[in-house]
Every structure is written in structure tokens, then in C-alpha cells.
Amino acid sequence: MFNILDGEGMMVTQNNKNSMFWILVVFFLFLPIILEKFAPIHFYSSYWFLSFPSILIVLFRFGPIFGITILGISSLIHIIWEAYEFIRMGELISKEELEMIVIVNFVKVSVTILTTVYLVKINQHRKELQKLNEKLGKLTYRDHLTGLPNRLMLEDYINQVIKHSEKYNERFSIMFLDLDRFKEVNDTLGHANGDSLLIQVAERLQRSVRKNDVVFRLAGDEFIIVLKDIDKEECRNVAERIINEMSDSFTLEGMESSVSPSIGISFYPENGVIYQEIIKSADKAMYLAKLKGKNNFQFA
């Protein structure tokens, strides 16, 4: 109910803003006629510079198409009113007055075109800046090598999952995975091959988990997998799929190499109710897996 009321309040406020906006536009659009009516001057067209705010306001608010439309309306009002005044007074339009009408409308068109070009460029720069910010945001929370979410995103994500699981009384699991023999491969074949191996591992991990599970690269050859709304048996199945997927050799510069995973598994809320506790429990279980011969998984 709160959200609905809040949405209605926002809608009313937005409608009020739009109403005030258009009142302002119309006011400036007809201001020259009002002034001419009550304070006529010899060079009537001088007042028409006051219609510029209506054109510029619409340009900046709605963009070039609407701005040019208001420009056309403004110029049309100007020409019609001028013609009406001369017909009413029974006078002919003098050369000076005709030149003034032409000059005023020429200035309007010129200013509108220049402003439109300016707005288009500003909009292009804004879009480029938005894309750059989005790219920087992704780089901040993504591992540059594997493209997986990184350590910075991990804690926020797990805290969100904790709140969700607490609200709906669900369990979730954390897998802490470390690669066996990775240091040996990295030292023997070089860092470039080590990086290639990590990329391939990341791809295999993503193939092994369920659709809604999220794989993170913690650091080096350590990975974290968050498995939402899962029981122990299903978690066991995922761990077995990972070990089976990793059992095939990896191709590095035409040579075959192999690594295996040691996996520690913890559950919320049995093994911790806050981020640090759950990760620590999974980390301890991972070291237990290494002590038991590696290439296996252990529950906390």
C-alpha cells in the first residue's frame, strides 16, 4: 500500500510540474501580444524577442523536434498578429516594418538551429559518458581476467541473499573452491598459460552450476559459488558435476595439463548467519578436502 500511495503522490507531483511548465511556455509565447496591447511601441517587433524563452525552454526540456514546433508556432503567431494589426488599422506594411518582421524571424530560426545543434552534441556526450560510467561500473565489480563477479561484489551479494533467505526461511550454500596444482602449472608453463587455465576453469564452473547460482573469482585460483535455495543432496550433485567437469585435461599452448578442485561447502544458517562466518566455514571445509587427498568436497 505504501508503494502505491507513494507512486500516486509522485504522479500528482509530476503532473503539477508539467502543468506549470506549459503555463510558463504559453506565457512567454503570448507575452509580446500582451505587452503590445497595453504598452504599444513604434517598433512592435522588438517585443518578440521575449518569445525566445518559450522556444528555449521546450528545446532543453523535450529536444529539437518540440523546440522547432514551438518556433514555428511563435513565428506564425507573430506574422498573423502583424497582419491583423495592419488590416485593423487600414495601413500598408512599410519597408522598415517588413524588414523588422523578417529579421526577428531570421534571428529566431538561427538561434533555434544553433541551440538544437548544441543540444544534439550535449546529448551525444551524455550518452557516451553514460556508456563509459556503465563500463567502469562493470569493471569495478568484475574480474578483469575471467569476467566473473569479483570480491567487491561478493559481500554485497551474500548479504542480500542472507536477507532474502531470512525473510523466506530458506537455506543457501557457499562453495569455496581452490585449484590443486595450479601453482605448479603457473610456475612451469608461465603466467600467460596460468591465466588461460583460470579462464577455462571459470567457463567450466559456470557450465556445472545451476541457472540461478553465481560464480565469483575471489583471488588467484580461489573461487566462490553461491547456491540459493538448495538442500544438501542437490548441493552434493553440483559439487560432483564440478569435479567431473574438471577431470578433463586443459589445453594450454597445444599441451594438455590438468588441475583438480578442492571444495569446501557451508550452509546458511547452520554454519553461520553473517557473511564472515559462512565464508570462514566454507574455507575450513576446503582445507579439510585438501587434507583428505584433494579433488573432493567436504561439508563444514
pLDDT tens digit sequence for 154-194: 999 999 999 999 999 999 999 999 999 898 888 888 889 99
User: Does residue 173 share a domain with residue 81?
Assistant: no
Tally the residues of the chain: 300
Please tell me the predicted confidence (pLDDT) of residue 148.
93
Q: What is the pTM of this model?
A: 0.60
Q: Tell whether the model's pLDDT for residue 41 goes beyond 70.
A: no
| 156's grid cell | 554485497
**Residue 248: pLDDT over 70:** yes
Close Cβ partners of 290 (under 8 Å, ≥ 6 residues apart): 178, 180, 262
Same structural domain, 165 and 292: yes
Domain-embedded: residue 146: no
Residue 249 is assigned to a structural domain of this protein: yes
pLDDT in tens, 56-67: 777 777 777 777
Q: Could you give the number of structural domains in the chain?
A: 2
Query: Hey, which of 116-125, 141-150, 224-233 has the most confident mean pLDDT?
Result: 224-233
52-56, 73-77, 92-96, 190-194: least confidently modelled range = 92-96
Residue 201's pLDDT band (boundaries 50, 70, 90)? very high
**Active-site residue numbers?**
221
Domain co-membership, 124 together with 162:
no
Q: Over 136-171, what HEC string results?
A: HHHHHHECCCCCCECHHHHHHHHHHHHHHHHHHCCC
Residue 171 and residue 218 in one domain: yes
Same domain, 120 and 189: no
More confident residue, 283 or 185: 283
pLDDT digits 0-9 by tens, 224-235: 999 999 999 999
Q: What is the pLDDT at residue 187?
A: 85
DSSP 180-197: ETHHHHHHHH-HHHHHHH
**Whether residues 46 and 83 fall in one domain:** yes
What pLDDT is recorded for position 266? 97
More confident residue, 283 or 64: 283
Looking at 141, 167, 194, which one is the last position of a domain? 141
Task: Judge whether 133 and 107 are in contact, CB under 8 Å.
Answer: no
In the structure, what pLDDT confidence band is assigned to residue 39 with cuts at 50, 70 and 90? Answer: low
Residues 92 and 194 in one domain: no
At 201, which CATH number? Answer: 3.30.70.270
Q: Picking from 127-131, 164-168, 216-220, 221-225, which range would have the lowest pLDDT averaged per residue?
A: 127-131
Neighbours of 149 (CB within 10 A): 20
Last residue in a domain, options 116, 141, 166: 141
Give the separation between CA 252 and CA 234, rounded to whole angstroms: 33
| Distance between CA atoms of residues 236 and 265, nearest Å | 9
**Domain check: are 277 and 188 in the same one?**
yes
> Do 127 and 65 belong to one domain?
yes
Predicted pLDDT of residue 5: 40
Same domain, 157 and 136: no
Q: How many angstroms separate the CA atoms of 150 and 141, rounded? A: 6
Asked whether 262 and 294 are in contact (CB, 8 A), the reply is: yes
* Partners of residue 173 on adjacent β-strands: 227, 267
pLDDT at 264: 97
Of 80-84, 230-234, 277-281, give the lowest mean pLDDT range: 80-84
Does residue 59 sit within a domain? yes
Give the residue from 141, 170, 196 where a domain finishes: 141
Question: Are 223 and 265 contained in the same domain?
Answer: yes
Q: Does one domain contain both 119 and 210?
A: no
Q: What distance in Å separates the CA atoms of residue 32 and residue 34, rounded to the nearest whole number?
A: 5
Q: Which domain holds residue 286?
A: 151-299
Asked whether the beta carbons of 209 and 222 are under 8 A apart, the reply is no
| Percent of the chain clearing pLDDT 90 (strictly above) | 43
* pLDDT tops 90 at residue 93: no
